[in-house]
Structure 1
């Protein structure tokens, strides 16, 4: 039986019966494998290399010098360590009456800093160069803002406390800069060994001590647990452990979206390839009905027939899965090449898990969608050799389609690692399948009325053929619509999604934050910005308030166990007030307040951390005055937008007479960099924060990952083309028989040609409209519920859908006319 099955496999391969099936399977497995290998290695690399955004694998922050016992334990475990001390201080240039001072974010670093990533220094030709060194003793490295504010150049002297330093280099980018309070002012970096000579740190100084740890990921995780246990056991205050998620939320959001986009491409490609495999398996079954009946007449039992075809499909599935995994493995290197700038060192080697996942999906895909046709072959009657009849599929046969589909979706969810994205994609795909099928069936039913009023022979042939093959026609409409929908997602919708992604952190995103604008300065400050062409800056009030009660229960840092929750309630919040919800904010629960009574809107992440919910009453202490407000809405913020965001927003009537300052964010072009110095001279109390380096990091990651996503969409394109091809050739055999009969009964070649053009045009036009509607719906759903983008419907989608449908109709009509009408009628009649 095995030998006979292998012989059949070889014969079907030579006859070309299995080639399309194998290609569809390879595309499905390759798309999943490439995404799987890429995400697996990228995630491992980012967990290691993306910690350059922190300067280490693990960072311990403390308000006091870090316990030396922690240092000793880290060294005992074989880690590489570095330290830095950060605090605000005045930097001075010049002597006597000509001395000029500037508030600076001073950072004293030890040898080895940063442990991950590298500093970038400005070069004389306007470029940048990376370095792993630190300033030499007696020298400092500074931000460009220090040079302009103090009117000094490299090589000149700068004073910090009691010590003079020579300005040696200009910092172009600092990977672990962050956006904390200590980093609001321009940076001045010096060696840690020179810090004592400055005598800047005194009792009461606001200083942050940081211990940087780097090592093997598993060992670092164990050390983190040990350290967390020591902090909790000894009840150490003012210490926190920093991670990529807590330290750089804007970068984490970008990386999460990257993985979601990549997973979406793999899911879409695999699902389309599944449709192609299912149609190829169905065509294989239809073309083997006669051979199966002959085998039954020669004495083979149902079980033997089933076993032979199962072995054949398993051999094809195994070969296709192995080849697909190999293609996917090779393709993921192309993706890694595109992300070479993001990952600064060699990635960890690939694991076997993505290969096993993709191969298991491929085998299940083929077996799951091949079993129903095989079960139909099992029930082929002996008299099929004489009578061209085939019973309708049995209920058990149809049920196997459902089992195979659910198992396939389960494997996709397992591989994507994102249940929300996987379920939404699968639900959209299945909903599209059902809606397309229903629309196709209703359209065919409506053709009856149209057919009764038409006497043109070609039109009557076309409409009659569509209605006579309702099942095959609906399958063609569904397959074409799904394939066209994939192509629209690849082109129009993909472009709009990528544009929305770019717009979430656009090139003109705010790169300067200005805080401490006094109420009496607000009007003059806005006029100054407008006069310099900065017209999009929105000023928001900022109120400092401490949360003291929730639902009449006093709140302290002892109320919560979570370290982040403790830190939040142990300090004052930046609270704001405004009438309308700010841009880049979206209500996810409740409603926006109406200003009729004391109400508040809370960021959903803060609500989760502090265990707040709609209806809770919050009491704040604001400059000695207490206010209480009820939570009426939870907001989702886009941290990657780099715009002004607030955890809590109160309605204006509640805090109308409270002391407040103003904050704004705007994009400052490079050619207008001197505006900052002018503002500082005119408004010396302002603090200007330069977040340009963070914008550049986010944009670099965004550009590289989008390039990788566009490469992966080639698999989606291949899947869509396969579905289109399968849909067009699926009824070719039946068309050949019909054409031969009609020509034998007197129909002319021209009439049949016209009828096929009409038939394909109707199918293509309907499929194009359905595909455009489905692509727009999928795009809106993904933008709103997965990627959190702003989305607008574009008529270009429907125009592209109709155009694509018409193009497919012409291609299908040409292919059909060439292969069907050139078939001799006599040969067709002899084969009936």
Structure 2
């Protein structure tokens, strides 16, 4: 009896037959596949791409959330109260009475610049200081800390708190006396932290804080003095509705009474200058994080397709062994889910550590402690990692479950096809939602995602056109017999697989686009930001120069070695009417417009256009009798246009003109700038003083010149902004270092895209080269073919990426960051060369073993 006949006989119940082994569970199968694929290197590129994207996103999300939380938490502290009334005149009594009647805590703050002097016994030096007179309830919010660790309130009568710069410049010490106006006050402590100090022009000078009871005795407040009055109010526990009532009633009183120069600041408007700096820094970081995430999506899609192509034979064998489609799909789904979860958790931890580096680098932008991080950025990072895997990686892998068993004997069956449209749409929508949540700005988020998608489509379209053109040129080159053999073979291979070449060129171009944008951001956008406050920017401003002092002061500057300086007349005027219609703050809905028309403007006149100004519309005509030149931002805020008639009140004299030009003004240049300029050489009928700005020749000479000017012209106010200029430049350096650190993650992700795009052709190249070698092609010829193909594909991708990067960089500069864009014609050429070199290097790394594989092994695997 044969073995087959015996197998057909019924089982003997008395004989113990072996029980078939129970197949492993789906979870165990997925774990075994994950471990095997990781050890084989099948998932490394994919997991590295997810890791880098999640790390970049989480670092920015953690930083942004903590900064926003810190600003919201400490807004009242930074403002000085829950609400503050600011005016250039003493706060009207009805408003103080309103705060008192509602049971609110309140205090008065008076700020103005003045000169502090050392007694003659200590050298008699002088120093511009920002004087601040405070009431007994100060501070309502936050803590005033001294250098010796004490937490204090308002100084006692007869005493002052000062910044350390006051002691250093005047040669004084704690316990000594300082002369302020007509008073001699004792220095009782050095300020370490002032909670409500702003960053306005008056606060460039070091602080000198005294009790408001001592202010009258100093004699510093005169009718024409430039003084800022602030009434700060704060709610008390148990009266949550008192503050909203105060804001509502105070706003109504201001509107009804017509008080000019008075505004109400709430928590939302506190410290706008710091908010602007933080917003610009986080825009940079968010853009780079989104770019990294978009690149990761491309890398994951390429790596997943390559992964699926490599596992077709394995799945066909599983189907032969009886594994159902559902089981195979679940196994690969769990494997990818586990890989994405591991990579995402690693990315979250790396992002948490990276954001701590950002906090250290950006510490100069905020002086308050940040709240601890929450789970929201971590959840956002996990969602990004899983959406990358499930949306872009899983669709081609799930096709493995449908591989037919016949592929075991017919290798042309079951090839990976385009993924499910439904799965792709769901993945893209989830991915886009995460990017919008990160951006916090639909314009920035949608702009980045849409621009990226359009770039991919454009790259694919142009690559397809290039392949079609190449397919026409190859026969012509073959007929001419003039082209090298390796070049003909390379072009034929490219033309023979147009779909794969389009994918490869598009993905390479996307990676190179990111790299080109990073270079442009670093060299042009960031350099333009830094150039806004150059190293040689003026660090001294002198105001209150009387007309009869001009010649002597300019001679003194020349004698001290100051060759270049700004010199302009300064006229104080309040806007009365536009096109003959009287205006008031209530005429405008915009809050900034209300503030502008509610105070006096600094006007000036000149017989030439300032060099740091550019005419955007209209024309500048010297000595135009009725002409006016208005700054672009002011015109936009107030709704002004060319031809409008403006009328100003200058010390009781009405003066006006017609807008003949609009100017772009670089306010961060540390130069003397004005909202409104009269294009006239002289306006003798108007009262005016002069202002100058210059760079001190040297540190020692600069100090000597300051002292000489103060002694020779006692009425002058010399503002030393060197410390603030250095601080601004240091802050820019901090932001740039933080951006460059995150750039490293995006650069790494771009390189992963390059490797993935080249590696995706590894198996097909292996089979093609094996056939060529079997037909007699030498290894040297095949290396030349591979090198030519990679160089050509990389050069085409680089050229496309460079051209698009120039356009995207211009859009980002204009619409996102507000920088002047300089066209760089070298970018496409440099990108072309870089693309060819990087593609060659990536190809050498990814395909280094292709030509070393035995021919028979490659042919058997391809059979």
Same fold at TM > 0.5:
yes
SS in 2 for 1:539: strand
| Structure 1: gaps spanning 5 or more residues | 122-128
C-alpha contact 1:25 1:277 (8 A) present in aligned 2: yes
Provide the rounded CA distance (Å) in 2 between the counterparts of 1:410 and 1:592: 47
CA distance 1:186–1:330, change in 2 (3 Å): closer
1:115-150 alpha-carbon deviations (Å, 9 max, x no partner): 5576888xxxxxxx9975575653445689989999
233-242 or 172-181: which moved more? 172-181
- Alignment map for 1:102-501 (pairs within 5 Å): 106-109=131-134, 116=142, 137-140=157-160, 157-160=177-180, 163-166=183-186, 188-195=208-215, 198=218, 208-211=228-231, 225-235=244-254, 237=259, 239-242=262-265, 250-293=273-316, 309-370=332-393, 372-374=395-397, 383-389=406-412, 397=420, 401=424, 404-405=427-428, 407-448=430-471, 449=473, 451-452=477-478, 453=480, 454-491=482-519, 493-501=521-529
C-alpha contact 1:45 1:343 (8 A) present in aligned 2: no
1:370-414 alpha-carbon deviations (Å, 9 max, x no partner): 355257557756654444446999898457646644553343122
SS in 1 for 2:278: helix
Provide the rounded CA distance (Å) in 1 between the counterparts of 2:607 and 2:320: 82
Q: Are positions 1:644 and 2:669 aligned together?
A: no
Provide the rounded CA distance (Å) in 2 between the counterparts of 1:469 and 1:738: 12
- Alignment map for 1:492-511 (pairs within 5 Å): 493-511=521-539
1:239-277 alpha-carbon deviations (Å, 9 max, x no partner): 534469867555443222111111112111111111111
Provide the rounded CA distance (Å) in 2 between the counterparts of 1:204 and 1:662: 16
1:507: how far off? 4.2
C-alpha contact 1:600 1:651 (8 A) present in aligned 2: yes
SS in 2 for 1:509: coil
CA distance 1:388–1:318, change in 2 (3 Å): same
C-alpha contact 1:32 1:266 (8 A) present in aligned 2: yes
Q: Are positions 1:734 and 2:756 aligned together?
A: no
C-alpha contact 2:754 2:842 (8 A) present in aligned 1: no
Identify which of 41, 44, 49 aligns with 1:24: 49
1:17-53 alpha-carbon deviations (Å, 9 max, x no partner): 3333222222212211111011110222244458776
1:431-460 alpha-carbon deviations (Å, 9 max, x no partner): 433343344334434445364344533222
Identify which of 82, 90, 107 aligns with 1:64: 90
Q: Are positions 1:724 and 2:746 aligned together?
A: no
Q: Who is 1:125 aligned against?
A: none
1:279: how far off? 0.9
1:163-208 alpha-carbon deviations (Å, 9 max, x no partner): 4324567889978665768669886432345446557669998754
Provide the rounded CA distance (Å) in 1 between the counterparts of 2:428 and 2:607: 50
Identify which of 15, 25, 41 aligns with 2:37: 15
149-158 or 375-384: which moved more? 149-158
SS in 1 for 2:850: helix
1:356: how far off? 2.9
Identify which of 49, 59, 81 aligns with 1:34: 59
Identify which of 553, 560, 576 aligns with 1:532: 560
CA distance 1:61–1:592, change in 2 (3 Å): same
Q: Who is 1:691 aligned against?
A: 721
CA distance 1:277–1:806, change in 2 (3 Å): same
C-alpha contact 1:557 1:569 (8 A) present in aligned 2: yes
C-alpha contact 2:146 2:191 (8 A) present in aligned 1: yes
SS in 1 for 2:817: coil
Calculate the aligned-residue CA RMSD, in Å. 4.6
C-alpha contact 2:579 2:644 (8 A) present in aligned 1: yes
1:462-516 alpha-carbon deviations (Å, 9 max, x no partner): 2222222222223223323332333344456424433322222334433322234
Provide the rounded CA distance (Å) in 1 between the counterparts of 2:223 and 2:573: 26
Provide the rounded CA distance (Å) in 2 between the counterparts of 1:222 and 1:676: 51
SS in 2 for 1:458: helix
1:417: how far off? 1.2
Q: Who is 2:738 aligned against?
A: 708
C-alpha contact 2:125 2:707 (8 A) present in aligned 1: no
1:509-554 alpha-carbon deviations (Å, 9 max, x no partner): 3332223445665565445434434344233343333222223321
Q: Who is 2:16 aligned against?
A: none
C-alpha contact 2:607 2:681 (8 A) present in aligned 1: no
Q: Are positions 1:762 and 2:787 aligned together?
A: no
Provide the rounded CA distance (Å) in 2 between the counterparts of 1:620 and 1:90: 31
Provide the rounded CA distance (Å) in 1 between the counterparts of 2:788 and 2:418: 35
Provide the rounded CA distance (Å) in 2 between the counterparts of 1:580 and 1:397: 66
Identify which of 828, 834, 859 aligns with 1:804: 834
Q: Who is 1:124 aligned against?
A: none
Provide the rounded CA distance (Å) in 2 between the counterparts of 1:244 and 1:585: 34
Count of residue pairs brought into register by the alignment = 819
Provide the rounded CA distance (Å) in 1 between the counterparts of 2:363 and 2:126: 42
1:94: how far off? 6.8
Q: Who is 1:4 aligned against?
A: 26
C-alpha contact 1:251 1:698 (8 A) present in aligned 2: no
C-alpha contact 1:143 1:188 (8 A) present in aligned 2: yes
185-194 or 713-722: which moved more? 185-194
Identify which of 788, 791, 809 aligns with 1:779: 809
CA distance 1:114–1:399, change in 2 (3 Å): same
Identify which of 746, 750, 760 aligns with 2:780: 750
C-alpha contact 2:34 2:335 (8 A) present in aligned 1: no
1:419: how far off? 3.1
Provide the rounded CA distance (Å) in 1 between the counterparts of 2:240 and 2:437: 25
CA distance 1:148–1:534, change in 2 (3 Å): farther
| Structure 2: gaps spanning 5 or more residues | 1-22
Q: Who is 2:20 aligned against?
A: none
220-229 or 246-255: which moved more? 220-229
SS in 2 for 1:815: helix
- Select the structure of larger CA radius of gyration: 2
SS in 1 for 2:848: helix
Provide the rounded CA distance (Å) in 1 between the counterparts of 2:168 and 2:242: 43
Provide the rounded CA distance (Å) in 2 between the counterparts of 1:323 and 1:258: 26
C-alpha contact 1:735 1:820 (8 A) present in aligned 2: yes
SS in 2 for 1:645: coil
1:694: how far off? 3.8
C-alpha contact 1:57 1:220 (8 A) present in aligned 2: no
SS in 2 for 1:818: coil
C-alpha contact 2:299 2:753 (8 A) present in aligned 1: yes
Provide the rounded CA distance (Å) in 1 between the counterparts of 2:723 and 2:72: 21
273-282 or 107-116: which moved more? 107-116
Provide the rounded CA distance (Å) in 2 between the counterparts of 1:172 and 1:696: 19
SS in 1 for 2:647: strand
Provide the rounded CA distance (Å) in 2 between the counterparts of 1:606 and 1:499: 26
Provide the rounded CA distance (Å) in 2 between the counterparts of 1:287 and 1:226: 70
Provide the rounded CA distance (Å) in 1 between the counterparts of 2:580 and 2:98: 40
